[in-house]
Amino acid sequence: MITNRTYAVEPWSVRETALSLDLLAQSESVFALSNGHVGWRGNLDEGEPHGLPGSYLNGVHELHPLPYAEAGYGNPESGQTVINVTNGKLLRLLVDDEPFDLRYGRLHSHERVLDLRRGVLERSCEWTSPAGTTIRVRSTRLVSLTQRAIAAVEYRIEPVDSRTRVVIQSELVANESLPDPDGDPRAAKALQSPLEPEEHAARGLRLRLVHCTRRSGLRVAVAADHVVDGPEHTTTAAESDADVARLTITSVLAPGQSLRVQKTVAHGWSGARSRPAMSDQVEAALAAAAHGGWEGLVDEQRAYLDDFWARADVEVHGDEEIQQAVRFALFHVLQAGARAEQRALPAKGLTGSGYDGHAFWDTEMFVLPVLTYTEPTAVAEALRWRQDTLPAARDRAAQLGLEGAAFPWRTIDGSEGSAYWPAGTAAFHVGADIAHAVVRYTAATGDTGFERDTGLELLVETARLWRSLGHHDHHGVFHIDGVTGPDEYSAVVDDNTYTNLMARANLLAAADVCERHPDRAELLGVDDEEAAAWRDAAESVHIPYDEEAGVHEQHSGFTRHQRWDFAGTRADQYPLLLHFPYFDLYRKQVVKQADLVLAMYTCGRWFDDTCDEEQLARNFAYYEPLTVRDSSLSACCQAVVAAQTGHLRLAYDYAAEAALMDLADLEHNTRDGLHIASLAGTWMALVAGFGGTRREGESLSFAPRLPEKFSRLAFRLQFRGRCVRVEVAADKATYTLLDGEPLTIRHHGVPVPLDDATPVTLAVPEPKRRPTPEQPPHRVPNSSR
C-alpha cells in the first residue's frame, strides 16, 4: 500500500499532525474549502509561508492572447485563465513585537483537521516567538454551503505563560504576488496583478474592496465584517487603500485571557452589474450572514452535510484508507458542484489554478455521474451552464464549417480556451459527453421540465454536429473521421470507437426527445426528416474491429500501428508527454488513458447487445499492456472494467490509485489543485466497479462483487425520487428501498422487485477466473508499485 502518507487515516476527517513546509502547496489543495462559487485554498491564516495563495470565484478569469508561430484559419486566439481574486482569509498576527510566522521561532505543535461532517477546517498550534513568547492559536474556517457568497473564520489567540501584546490585522488583499509556475504546461499561467482597483472602504469593523479585471471586464467585490471578543481595553482601527483593506485589532492578554475574532467575508462578481450594485450585493450578503452569526453558519453547514451524507455516504469495511478516501472524494466533489449554479465545474474545482481553471469533459463524464445519484440539482445547474454557452458553441461550429454546436475542449466562459492542438481541437466527443450527461440526469431523476427546457436543446444541437461532422460512405456506413477520442496519445483519427458509440447514443437520444416534445423540437426547426437522418446515422455507425486480434479497435487502424517501445522507456520518462514528441506518440500503439475501455463502460449496453463477456475480457486484456495512465482520469475507468471482467484484485489496485491520487499526491502535482475527476472516479470505481451499478432505462441493475480487501461495501443512490441502499458482502448483496415508490432492479441479470423497505438479500455468484492482464513496465497501479 502507499507509504508516503501525510495525513492520519480516520473515517470522517483528514488530519495533519505536523506542519511540513515542503508540502505546504499540496496541503493547501487538500484542505481547500469551496462551495462551487467561492473557493479558498487551505493557506495558513497569516498568509505566509505559502505554496500558492488562492482565493477563487467561479467564472472570474482574465483573457490573454494565444500566439501562434504559424497562423491557421479557426485557431482560437484568446485564452482564459482563472485569477486569484481578493483574499479575504488573511489574519496576520504580531506577538509582542514579532510576526507570527512559522518559519521563525519554535513550533511546539501544529494540527489541521478537515472535518468532512461539519465542513470546516480546524487548526490549532502552539508557538514560541524568537523572543520567547509562547502563544496558542486556534482557527476554524468554512466556506458556506448554504450562503453562497459567504466564507468565514473564527480565530482565537491566547498567551501561554506571560502577559502578551497582540495585534491581529484582518485584511482583504487584492493582487497578491504569486510564485512563478514551474514550467509544467498543466499548471496555470500566473497573471500578475490582474485586478484594477475601483473602490475601497473601511468603516467600524467593516472592510470592502471592489476591483475589475482589465481585459475580461469582470467586477469583483469582497467585503468583510467582524465580531471581536477580547479583554476590555481591546481596540480596533480600520483603514483601506486601493488593494488592501485592514482592520487592526490590538490587545494585551494575560495568561488565561484570549482574543477571539470572527471574520465573515462576502464575495460577488459580475460582468454586468455596476460598482454600487456590487458593493450593495456583498454588504447585503454580510447582513444576511450576521443574522445567524458564526454559530448559525456552523450549524447550517452541519445540517447541510448531514442531509448530504444521509443520501450519499459510501461505507467501506475492511479498508480504512479507502473509507477515508471515498468520503474525502465525495466531500470535494460536492464542494466543486454544490453551489456552482450555472457555472462550469473546473477540472481542479476551486482548489487551485492548475489547468488555468478550465473545465473539460471531466465534468460530464466523471463528476456529474456522482452528483446525479447524490446531489442531482447540481447536475441540472451544471448542464444549464452548458446551455447558456450554446451561442459560443454554435459560433464555433459555424466557424469550423459545421452545424449545431461544437462545445469547447477547455473553457471558463464557454468559448474555446485551448490553442490549436490536435488532441483538443479535434476532441469533439465533448458534445456527446454532454448529451450523455443529459440523458443520465433525466433518466435518473425523471425531471421532464429540465428535459424540455434544457436537455432537448443540448441534444438537438450536439446531434446536428455529429450529422454534419460524419458522413455515409457508398455502402451507407456512417463514419466520423479526423477526431480525437479520450486517449490524447492518438489524435485526429478515423472512427474512434468511443466517439462513434457516444455519438450514436447522442443521435438516438436527440431523435427520441424530439418525439417526446414535438412542440419544442419544432421551435428548434427539427422536422421528421432531420430526426430520421439522425437515426440512420446512428444505426449505421462504423465500429472498427480487428478480426485477427479478435478485439474492437480504439480507432480504425489502431491495432496495425507499431507498439510503443515500452521495454526501452524508463520509469522517469513518464508521463510520456513531457519526454517524447507527440507526433511519435500519435503513430504508435500507446494509450494515455482509458478510451476503448471507457466506451465499454459508458456504452456498455451496445457491447452487451452485440458481443459476449469473452469479447469484453479480450478487449480489456488487449488494451491493458498499452495503457500508461498518464492521465488521472484513467485508473477509475480501468477499475470499473477490471471489476466487470472479474479481475477484482486489479480493480482494487486501480480504485486505490484513483482514491489516493491527492491524499498521497501520486502524480506529484496536487499542489496545483485536486484532481476532481479522479476523486469522482473513486465513487465510480466503488459503485460502478464493485457495486456493478448500471442504469438500465428507468431502472437500475447491479452485479456486485467485492475485492478480497473489503469485507463489506455499502452505498446509497438517489433514483427517480427514491433512495436505494445497496450493501455488498463477499457472498451476498442486500438491497433496501429506503424511500420512495416500488422499483424492480436487477441483480446479476435477475429481476428483483423492491416493493417496500424490507431488505432483499441475494447470493453473489463467483466471477469467472481469467489470467490477470499485465500493464506496461513501471505502470502497474500505483497502490502496488
Catalogue the active-site residues: 488
Which residue among 362, 451, 457, 530 contacts ligand BGC (CB under 6 A)? 362
| Residue 437 touching ligand BGC (CB under 6 A) | no
Q: Shortest gap between Cβ of 578 and ligand BGC (angstroms)?
A: 11
119 conformational bin, left if phi > 0, alpha if psi -120 to 50, beta if neither: left
Non-local CB neighbours of 94 within 8 Å, separated by 6+ positions = 100, 166, 167, 168, 169
Q: Closest separation between CB of residue 216 and ligand BGC, Å?
A: 22
DSSP H or E stretch at residue 435: helix 429-445
Contact status: 364 vs ligand BGC (CB under 6 A): no
Query: Three-class SS of residue 457?
Result: helix
Q: Do 212 and 219 meet the contact criterion of CB atoms below 8 Å apart? A: yes
CB of 496 to ligand BGC, least distance (A): 13
347 touches ligand BGC (CB under 6 A): yes
Q: Which long-range contacts (CB under 8 A, 24 or more apart) does 511-517 make?
A: 511/463, 511/535, 511/538, 513/451, 513/455, 513/456, 513/459, 513/460, 514/456, 514/460, 516/451, 517/451, 517/452, 517/456
- Toward ligand BGC, which CB reaches closer, 158 or 488? 488
Residue pair 181/52 in contact (Cβ under 8 Å)? The answer is: no
CA distance 694 to 707: 19
Question: Please, what sign has the CA dihedral across residues 159, 250, 123, 204?
Answer: positive
665 known member of a binding site: no
Does position 361 interact with ligand BGC (CB under 6 A)? The reply is yes
Q: How far is the CB of 625 from ligand BGC (least distance, A)?
A: 20
Residue placing its CB nearer to ligand BGC in the complex, 28 or 488: 488
Only segment of 71-79, 208-216, 234-242, 354-362 that touches ligand BGC (CB under 6 A): 354-362
Question: Nearest to ligand BGC by Cβ — which residue?
Answer: 360
Of the candidates 116, 110, 88, the one whose C-alpha atom is nearest the C-alpha of residue 263 is 88
Angle between the N-to-C axes of helices 320-337 and 648-660, in degrees from 0 to 180, rounded to the nearest 10: 50
# residues contacting ligand BGC (CB under 6 A): 12
Query: Would you say 297 or 491 has its CB closer to ligand BGC?
Result: 491
In angstroms, the CA 436 to CA 599 distance is 12
Task: Tell me: is residue 388 an annotated ligand-binding position.
Answer: no
Q: Is 592 annotated as a binding residue?
A: yes
Residue span binding ligand BGC (CB under 6 A) among the ranges 89-97, 106-114, 309-317, 358-366: 358-366
Residue among 361 and 620 whose Cβ is closer to ligand BGC? 361
Select from 687, 718, 717 the least CA-distant residue to 703. 687
Ranges within 487-516 binding ligand BGC (CB under 6 A): 488
Select from 593, 644, 669, 682 the one that contacts ligand BGC (CB under 6 A). 593
Binding map of ligand BGC across residues 595-634, x = CB under 6 A, - = no contact: ------------------------------------x-x-
Q: Which stretch binds ligand BGC (CB under 6 A): 2-10, 11-19, 359-367, 524-532?
A: 359-367
Residue bearing cell 482565493: 55
- Residues 775 and 627 sit within 8 Å (Cβ to Cβ): yes
* Binding characters for ligand BGC, 472-491, by CB under 6 A (x = yes): --------------x-x---
Residue 382 Cβ, how far from ligand BGC at the closest point, in Å? Answer: 15
User: What are the phi and psi torsion angles at 161 (to 5°)?
Assistant: -140, 0
- Pairing type for strands 743-747 and 750-754 reads antiparallel
Cis peptide before 575 (omega within 30 of 0): yes
Vertex 152: Cα angle to 146 and 158 (nearest 5) = 145
Using the minimum distance from each CB to ligand BGC, give the nearer residue, 12 or 420: 420
- Binding residue for ligand BGC (CB under 6 A) from 127, 308, 355, 428? 355
Taking the least distance from each CB to ligand BGC, the nearer of 129 and 353 is: 353
Stretch of 222-230, 293-301, 353-361, 610-618 contacting ligand BGC, by CB under 6 A: 353-361
**Whose Cβ is closer to ligand BGC: residue 327's or residue 592's?**
592
CB of 264 to ligand BGC, least distance (A): 34
Task: Kindly list the distances between the CA atom of residue 44 and the CA atoms of 24, 49, 50, 741, in Å, as whole numbers in the listed order.
Answer: 9, 7, 7, 49
- Single out the segment in contact with ligand BGC by CB under 6 A; choices: 51-59, 95-103, 357-365, 452-460: 357-365
Q: How far is the CB of 135 from ligand BGC (least distance, A)?
A: 42
Rounded to the nearest whole angstrom, what is the least distance from the CB of residue 668 to ligand BGC in the complex? 14
With vertex at residue 675, the alpha carbon angle to CA 709 and CA 620, rounded to the nearest 5 degrees, is 55
Residue 155 binds to ligand BGC (criterion: CB under 6 A): no
Instruction: Give the whole-angstrom CA distance, residue 599 versus residue 417.
Output: 26
Q: Using the minimum distance from each CB to ligand BGC, give the nearer residue, 575 or 767.
A: 575
The residue assigned the cell 434544457 is: 454
Residue number, 127 or 360, with CB nearest to ligand BGC: 360
Does residue 416 bind ligand BGC (CB under 6 A)? no
DSSP state of 751: E
How far apart (Å, rounded) are the C-alpha atoms in residues 737 and 758?
7
Q: Is 586 one of the binding residues for ligand BGC (CB under 6 A)?
A: no
d(CA 602, CA 500): 12
Which residue shows C-alpha cell 470505481? Answer: 685
Q: Quick one: cell of 36? A: 462551487
40 is a site residue for ligand BGC (CB under 6 A): no
Q: Give yes or no for residue 677 binding ligand BGC (CB under 6 A).
A: yes
**Considering beta carbons, is residue 361 or 385 the nearer one to ligand BGC?**
361
Q: First-to-last CA distance in the chain?
A: 8
Q: Rg of the chain over CA atoms, in angstroms?
A: 27
* CB 722 to ligand BGC: min, Å: 32
Which three cell numbers, joined as nine digits, stand for 199? 473602490
CB of 488: closest distance to ligand BGC in angstroms? 4
Q: Is 263 annotated as a binding residue?
A: no
Cα dihedral across residues 572, 577, 579, 581: positive or negative: positive
Please give the full DSSP string across 314-361, using - where no structure is assigned.
EEEES-HHHHHHHHHHHHHHHHHHTT--SS---TTTTS--GGGG-B-T
Q: Rank residues 171 and 488 by Cβ distance to ligand BGC and give the closer one.
A: 488
**Alpha-carbon distances, residue 74 vs 193, 395, 421 (angstroms):** 30, 11, 12
Binding mask 289-308 for ligand BGC (x = CB under 6 A): --------------------
- The yes or no reply on residue 360 touching ligand BGC (CB under 6 A) is yes
Per-residue mark of binding to ligand BGC, 101-120 (x: CB under 6 A): --------------------
Distances (CA, A) of 589 to 552, 563, 566: 14, 4, 10
Burial environment of residue 241 by CB neighbours within 10 A (0 to 12, 13 to 18, 19 or more): exposed
CB of 361 to ligand BGC, least distance (A): 6
Q: How far apart are CA 649 and CA 29, in angstroms?
A: 30
- The annotated binding site for substrate is made up of 361-362, 592-593
Positions touching ligand BGC (CB under 6 A) are: 347, 355, 360-362, 486, 488, 592-593, 631, 633, 677
Provide the annotated binding site: 361-362, 592-593
